C-alpha cells in the first residue's frame, strides 16, 4: 500500500513556542485514523512543534519513501505561505510525490492556489476524512502506472472523487462537493500517530490533548467562517466521546483537554449528558472550551457540573463592548450576557478568557478608551486582544473586499497583527494603544488582588501562570513590532 506522510506545516508561533504550548494537529490525525484502518502506511510530521526547516522536512520525506504528502495547519490562512514553501521543497526533492493540501483556506482559495502553485497537485475541500480515504484508494488503484522519479500526472479516475479540486489536462477541475459526515463516530482518530505525548503540554497542566465532541455552529457571526465550513451542527455519541477522553487519560496520562468545538453547548440537554458522564467516570482532569456567553447564562443551574467535570478555562468570544457592535457582527448576544457569564464562572472558580476584537469600530483614542472601560466592566480573568481580520470567504471579508489592507503578509493574518488600516490612527499608534490597554488591564490592582486572594488553589496557580505568560508574549510582541518598524524604515531609507 501507499505510504502517506501527514505534515503539520512549520508555522512559527510565539504564543505556542514560548508560552502556552503547542496543540497536537487533530485535523491531520482525523485523516490518519481511517487511512491506517484501510491499510495505508501513515507517518505524522509535526513540523510546527518540532520546529523543522523546509529542507529537513523534504529530507525526511525522501528518507521515508513517501508516495503521498498531505499538508495542513490549524492556522489555515497564516500558515498558507509556509505550506506552499514546504511543498516546493518537497517537490524539488521528490517530484513523483503526490502533494495534497487541505484546510479552511484552500477550501475557499483553491482556484488561485492551483493556478499559481504547481507544487500543489490536489486540494481537499471541507471535511477531509471521507474525501482523503476515497482519494487515497483511487491513487492506490493507479499507482502501478506511475514511474518513480518522474513528475506525477493525475489519473482521469480522480473525476469520481467528490470534494477535491485538481488539474485535468492543465485546467483547474472542481469535482462535486461531498455532503457533511453524518456519523462522526464512524471515523476514528489516529491517536497512535503521536509518538511522544510529552511534546504536547499546555498551561502548565501536564500532557494535553485536543478533542472534539461536535462540529459546526448554528450562529452566523459575520467575521467567522467556521459555520460555513462545517455546514451544520453535528455531535458525537456521548458515551463514545467520553470513552475516548477516559482512554487518553488512563492510557496516556493526558490531564488537560481542549475542546476544538465551535459550539459544544448548542443543545443544553445533550451537553448536560456529556458533563454528567465525565463526572461519573471520576477522572481528575482539566478542560477548556470556547463557549458563548449566553449559553453560560442559560446554564447557570449547570455550573456546578461544569466545575465537577473539570472545567478550568472558558474562552468567551465577546469581541466588543457595545450592543450596537454585537448586532453589527450578528453575534446574537448582548453585553449583559458577557457580564453575567464572567461572574457565573468566577462564582464557581472557573477562569474566563475574554476575546476582544479591535477594528470593528474605526478606532480612535475615544474608542480605545471605551474598549478599556468595557473590558474592565466585563472583568474577565484574562483578555485576549485580537485584530479584525477579513478572511475573503466570510460575510465580513466580502463586505470589506475594498478595505485598505496594510499587512499583505498572510503569515501575520493571525488575529494578533493589524491587517486593516484605520483612518484616524497609524499602525504604531493603534499598536501602542492596544498594548497600553493590555498592560493596564492585566496589571490592574483588581487583577493582582484576585491572584493574591483566590481561595481555590488550582485557580490561583492558573491565574499566576496566565499573568506570567501574558506578560511574556506582551513583551515579545512589542519587540517584534519595534524590529519590524525599524526594518521598514531601513528599507525606505535604502
Q: How far is CA 210 from CA 197, 375, 407, in A?
A: 12, 29, 31
Locus of grid cell 490612527: 425
Q: How far is CA 204 from CA 144, 312, 463, in A?
A: 49, 12, 11
What is the CB neighbour count within 10 angstroms for residue 185? 14
Residue 37 predicted with pLDDT over 80: yes
**How many angstroms separate the Cα of 332 from the Cα of each of 147, 317, 411?**
56, 12, 30
Q: What is the structure's pLDDT at 363?
A: 95
CA 400 to chain centre: 23
pLDDT band with cut points at 50, 70 and 90 for residue 340: very high
- Judged by average pLDDT, the poorest of 35-49, 202-216, 461-475, 479-493 is 479-493
- Is pLDDT of 420 > 70? yes
Please state the rounded mean pLDDT for residues 136-157. Answer: 76
The yes-or-no verdict on residue 151 having pLDDT over 70 is: no
Question: What whole-number percentage of the chain has pLDDT above 90?
Answer: 79
pLDDT digits (tens, 9 = 90+) for 177-235: 999 999 999 999 999 999 999 999 988 889 999 999 999 999 999 998 888 888 899 99
Q: Please state, rounded to an integer, the average pLDDT across all residues of the chain.
A: 93
DSSP label at residue 292: -
pLDDT of residue 320: 95
For residue 145, the model assigns a pLDDT of: 59
Asked if pLDDT for residue 12 goes beyond 90, the answer is no
Is residue 149's pLDDT more than 60? no
Per the model's pLDDT, the better-predicted residue between 225 and 339 turns out to be 339
Q: What are the grid coordinates assigned to 274, written together?
A: 456529556
For the segment 103-133, what is each residue's pLDDT rounded down to a tens digit? Answer: 999 999 999 999 999 999 999 999 999 999 9
Confidence category of residue 378, pLDDT binned at 50, 70, 90: very high
* Mean pLDDT value across residues 75-93: 93
Q: What is the enclosing helix (H) or strand (E) of 55? A: helix 54-64
Percent of the chain with pLDDT over 70: 97
Average pLDDT over residues 422-450: 94
d(CA 338, CA 74): 27
* 302, 305, 310, 315: CA torsion to nearest 10: 0
Confidence (pLDDT) at 8: 96
Q: Are 55 and 89 a contacting pair, CB within 8 Å? A: yes
Convert the pLDDT of each residue in 264-286 to its tens digit: 999 999 999 999 999 999 999 99
Quote the pLDDT of residue 148: 61
Is the pLDDT reported for residue 14 higher than 60?
yes
- Average pLDDT estimate for 165-176: 95
pLDDT of residue 406: 93
Domains and CATH numbers, the chain: 3-174 (3.40.50.2300), 201-443 (3.20.20.70)
pLDDT at 244: 98
- β 214-215/234-235 pair status: antiparallel
State CA 63 to chain mean position distance.
30
pLDDT band at 458 (very low <50, low <70, confident <90, very high): confident
Does the model's pTM come out above 0.85? Answer: yes
More confident residue, 469 or 212: 212
Question: Which pLDDT score, from 0 to 100, does residue 487 have?
Answer: 79
Q: What does the pLDDT read at residue 231?
A: 87
Question: How much is the pLDDT for 280?
Answer: 97
Amino acid at each position: 500500500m501507499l505510504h502517506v506522510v501527514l505534515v503539520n506545516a512549520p508555522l512559527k508561533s510565539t504564543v505556542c513556542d514560548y508560552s502556552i504550548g503547542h496543540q497536537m494537529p487533530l485535523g491531520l490525525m482525523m485523516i490518519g485514523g481511517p487511512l491506517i484502518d484501510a491499510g495505508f502506511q501513515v507517518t505524522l510530521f509535526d513540523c510546527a512543534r518540532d520546529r523543522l526547516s523546509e529542507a529537513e522536512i523534504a529530507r525526511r520525506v525522501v528518507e521515508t519513501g513517501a508516495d503521498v504528502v498531505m499538508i495542513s495547519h490549524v492556522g489555515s490562512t497564516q500558515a498558507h505561505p509556509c505550506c506552499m514553501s514546504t511543498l516546493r521543497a518537497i517537490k524539488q526533492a521528490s517530484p513523483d510525490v503526490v502533494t495534497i493540501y487541505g484546510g479552511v483556506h484552500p477550501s475557499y482559495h483553491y482556484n488561485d492556489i492551483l493556478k499559481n502553485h504547481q507544487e500543489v497537485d490536489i486540494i481537499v475541500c471541507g471535511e477531509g476524512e471521507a474525501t482523503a480515504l476515497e482519494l487515497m484508494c483511487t491513487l492506490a488503484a493507479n499507482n502501478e502506472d506511475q514511474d518513480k522519479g518522474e513528475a506525477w500526472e493525475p489519473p482521469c479516475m480522480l473525476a469520481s472523487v467528490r470534494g477535491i479540486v485538481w488539474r485535468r489536462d492543465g485546467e483547474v477541475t472542481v469535482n462535486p462537493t461531498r455532503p457533511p459526515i453524518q456519523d462522526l463516530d464512524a471515523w476514528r482518530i489516529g491517536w497512535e500517530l503521536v509518538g511522544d505525548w510529552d511534546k504536547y503540554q499546555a498551561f502548565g497542566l501536564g500532557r494535553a490533548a485536543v478533542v472534539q465532541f461536535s462540529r459546526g455552529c448554528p450562529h452566523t457571526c459575520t467575521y467567522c467562517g467556521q459555520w460555513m465550513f462545517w455546514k451544520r451542527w453535528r455531535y458525537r455519541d456521548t458515551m463514545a466521546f467520553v470513552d475516548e477522553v477516559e482512554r487518553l487519560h488512563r492510557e496516556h496520562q493526558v490531564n488537560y483537554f481542549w475542546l476544538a468545538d465551535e459550539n459544544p453547548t448548542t443543545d443544553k440537554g445533550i451537553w448536560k449528558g456529556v458533563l454528567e458522564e465525565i463526572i461519573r467516570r471520576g477522572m481528575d482532569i482539566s478542560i477548556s472550551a470556547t463557549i458563548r456567553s449566553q449559553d453560560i447564562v442559560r446554564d447557570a443551574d449547570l455550573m456546578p457540573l461544569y466545575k465537577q467535570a473539570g472545567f478550568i478555562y472558558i474562552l468567551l468570544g465577546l469581541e466588543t463592548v457595545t450592543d450596537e457592535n454585537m448586532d453589527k457582527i450578528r453575534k446574537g448576544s448582548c453585553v449583559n450576557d458577557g457580564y453575567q457569564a464572567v461572574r457565573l464562572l468566577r462564582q464557581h472558580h472557573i477562569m474566563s478568557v475574554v476575546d476582544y476584537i479591535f477594528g470593528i469600530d474605526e478606532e480612535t483614542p475615544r474608542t480605545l478608551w471605551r474598549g478599556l472601560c468595557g473590558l474592565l466592566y466585563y472583568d474577565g480573568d484574562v483578555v485576549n486582544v485580537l485584530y479584525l481580520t477579513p478572511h475573503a470567504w466570510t460575510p465580513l471579508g466580502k463586505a470589506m473586499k475594498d478595505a485598505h489592507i496594510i499587512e499583505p503578509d498572510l503569515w501575520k493574518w493571525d488575529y494578533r497583527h493589524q491587517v486593516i488600516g484605520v483612518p484616524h490612527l497609524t499602525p504604531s499608534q493603534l499598536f501602542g494603544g492596544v498594548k497600553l490597554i493590555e498592560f493596564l488591564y492585566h496589571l490592574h490592582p483588581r487583577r493582582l488582588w484576585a491572584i493574591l486572594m483566590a481561595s481555590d488553589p488550582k485557580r490561583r496557580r492558573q491565574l499566576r501562570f496566565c499573568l506570567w505568560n501574558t506578560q511574556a508574549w506582551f513583551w515579545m510582541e512589542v519587540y517584534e513590532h519595534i524590529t519590524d518598524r525599524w526594518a521598514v524604515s531601513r528599507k525606505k531609507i535604502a
